[in-house]
Chains A and B, each alone.
Chain A
Amino acid sequence: MDCSRFREHIQRFVDGELPDPLVVEFQAHLSFCGDCAAELRELSAVRGALAAWGAAELAAPAGFADRVVAAAQTLPWPTPVGRLTSLAGRARLPRGALVSTRAIVYSALALAAVAIGLETRHRRRSREAKV
Chain B
Amino acid sequence: MPPSNTHRWTTLPDPSAADLARAAGGDEQAFRSLVERYQGMVYTVAHNILGDHADAEDAAQEAFLRLFRKLRQFRGEAAFGTWLYRLAVTTAVDYRRRERRTPPQVEAREPLADPEQTVLERASCADLVRAVDALPADYRLPLVLRDVHGLEYREVAELLGRPLGTVKVMVHRGRNAVRLRLRATGSLAGER
Contacts and interface: CB of A to CB of B under 8 A. Distances in A.
Nearest to B9: A57
A43 B44 contact: no
A71 interface: yes
Contacts of B27: 82, 85-86
Contacts of B72: 78-79
Contact of B123 (A41, A45, A56, A58): A45
A86 B36 CA distance: 18
A52 to B, nearest CB: 4
A78 B28 contact: no
B179 interface: yes
A38 B40 CA distance: 37
B103 interface: no
A58 B117 contact: no
Interface stretch (B60-68, B75-83, B94-102): B60-68
Which of B41, B47, B72, B175: most chain A CB closer than 10 A?
A: B175
Nearest to B26: A82
Given A45-B123, A51-B147, A71 B65 contact: yes
B192 A54 contact: no
Contacts of A69: 28, 31-32, 35
A55 B35 contact: no
B84 interface: no
Contact of A61 (B3, B8, B53): B53
A46 B182 contact: yes
Contacts of A15: 153
Contact of A54 (B5, B36, B40, B42): B5
A68 interface: yes
Interface string B50-71: 0001000100110011001101
B87 interface: no
Contacts of A73: 28
B68 A52 contact: no
Contacts of A43: 175-176, 179
Interface in B112-134: 112-114, 117-120, 123, 125, 128-129, 132
B31 A51 contact: no
A49 B119 contact: yes
Nearest to A77: B26
Contact of A64 (B25, B60, B144): B60
Interface of A: 11, 14-16, 38-39, 41-43, 45-61, 64-65, 67-69, 71-73, 75, 77-79, 81-83, 85-86, 88
Given A60-B57, A86-B26, 12 more contacts: A11-B175, A38-B192, A47-B175, A48-B119, A48-B120, A49-B119, A49-B128, A54-B44, A57-B9, A58-B43, A58-B109, A65-B35
12 contacts: A39-B179, A43-B175, A45-B191, A50-B143, A51-B147, A55-B5, A55-B114, A58-B44, A61-B43, A68-B39, A77-B26, A78-B69
